[in-house]
Amino acid sequence: MNGKAQSSGTGVPSQGDRAARLVAIGIAAYLTITLVPLLRHVLAVRELLPLIVHLATLAIVGASLGFRSAHARTLRALMPLALVPVLYIDLRWLIAGWGRPQ
């Protein structure tokens, strides 16, 4: 394998590690920005489950960004795939929070 495919023992992140970190930052930014319409929905329907799911997802993404271990790199690499179902359900709550029909 070449040096770009995996991180070296020197602590320098590989290109894949940097890409996974950038994707995680993008997901964290998306989850942070969409808190406003989600809060509107939660206040309208008085149900806490959407807020709990959204904040738990944000906490997992944030935690993966806070660590640089091999486990955190693996979590960041698999996170976009694992979050697709959660973000799909979350989108339903966000659309309602924006006041749009589904």
pLDDT of residue 46: 94
- Residue-wise pLDDT for 73-92, tens only, equals 888 888 889 999 999 999 99
Please give the pLDDT value at position 101: 67
For 11-50, the pLDDT digits (tens) are 677 887 888 889 999 999 999 999 999 999 999 999 999 9
* DSSP calls for 29-79: HHHHHTHHHHHHHHHHHT--HHHHHHHHHHHHHHHHHH--SHHHHHHHHHH
Q: What is the pTM of this model?
A: 0.78
